[in-house]
């Protein structure tokens, strides 16, 4: 049985919330209310480290970590826990389109994996779905809900195609 606080959604700044709300909303569609925190690898390094170190014993199973610019948050958390870390690189408006954050998130050294999603809102939504898929490995009800989600998504595209 999935409990509501099994997923954490952390982000480097409150300015990231606009995009990360779509991750939180997607989790809510599956009755998951995540632990949401603003933690920064650079501005609050010790608090971020403590969060990662204590996450498993606090009942968290998956951590979604979003950040822009030199996005070290996902990697910094991954260094301190064996929980799966899903990274969401964000476009901070620095003129690089989020490529700065993408490379900072995805190019982890061997031994410290981060599952990086794509940049921005699509990545935020996919992070939620990926977290749900991890939880669904040990939750049959959740697996069924995810299968229904895919069917509904397929139906919507078919209807749009038919309406052309």
- Tokens representing 60? 């968290």
Please spell the DSSP secondary structure of 51-95, one letter per residue: HHHHHGGGT--EEEEEEESS--HHHHHHTT-SS-EEEEEE--SSS
Binding ligand RP5 by CB under 6 A: which of 12, 34, 75, 89? Answer: 12
Angle 17-28/121-136 helices, nearest 10 degrees?
30
CB of 70 to ligand RP5, least distance (A): 8
Q: Which stretch binds ligand RP5 (CB under 6 A): 6-14, 26-34, 50-58, 79-87?
A: 6-14
Nearer to ligand RP5, 2 or 11 (CB): 11
Task: Provide CB contacts within 8 A for 164, sequence distance 6+.
Answer: none
d(CA 65, CA 77): 8
Nearer to ligand RP5, 2 or 73 (CB): 73
Q: Contacts with ligand RP5 in 21-80 (CB under 6 A)? A: 40, 67-69
Is position 92 an interface residue for ligand RP5 (rule: CB under 6 A)?
yes
Nearer to ligand RP5, 60 or 67 (CB): 67
Nearer to ligand RP5, 20 or 134 (CB): 20
H or E segment to which residue 118 belongs: none
CB of 59 to ligand RP5, least distance (A): 25
Nearer to ligand RP5, 40 or 81 (CB): 40
Specify the length of the chain in residues: 164
Is position 114 an interface residue for ligand RP5 (rule: CB under 6 A)?
no
Tell me how crowded residue 8 is: count the other CB atoms within 10 A of its CB: 25
Tell me which residues touch ligand RP5 (CB under 6 A): 11-13, 15-16, 40, 67-69, 90, 92
């Amino acid at each position: 049985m999935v409990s509501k606080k099994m997923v954490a959604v952390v982000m480097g700044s409150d300015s990231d919330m606009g995009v990360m709300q779509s991750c939180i909303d997607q989790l809510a569609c599956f009755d998951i209310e995540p632990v949401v925190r603003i933690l920064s690898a650079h501005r609050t390094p010790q608090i971020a480290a403590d969060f990662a170190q204590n996450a498993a014993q606090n009942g968290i199973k998956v951590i979604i970590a979003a950040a822009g610019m030199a996005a070290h948050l996902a990697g910094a958390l991954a260094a301190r826990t064996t929980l799966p870390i899903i990274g969401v690189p964000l476009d901070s408006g620095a003129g690089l389109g989020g490529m700065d954050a993408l490379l900072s998130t995805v190019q982890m050294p061997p031994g410290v994996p981060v599952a990086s999603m794509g940049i921005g809102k699509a990545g935020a939504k996919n992070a939620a779905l990926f977290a749900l898929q991890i939880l669904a490995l040990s939750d049959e009800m959740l697996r069924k809900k995810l299968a229904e989600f895919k069917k509904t998504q397929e139906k919507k595209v078919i209807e749009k195609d038919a309406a052309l």
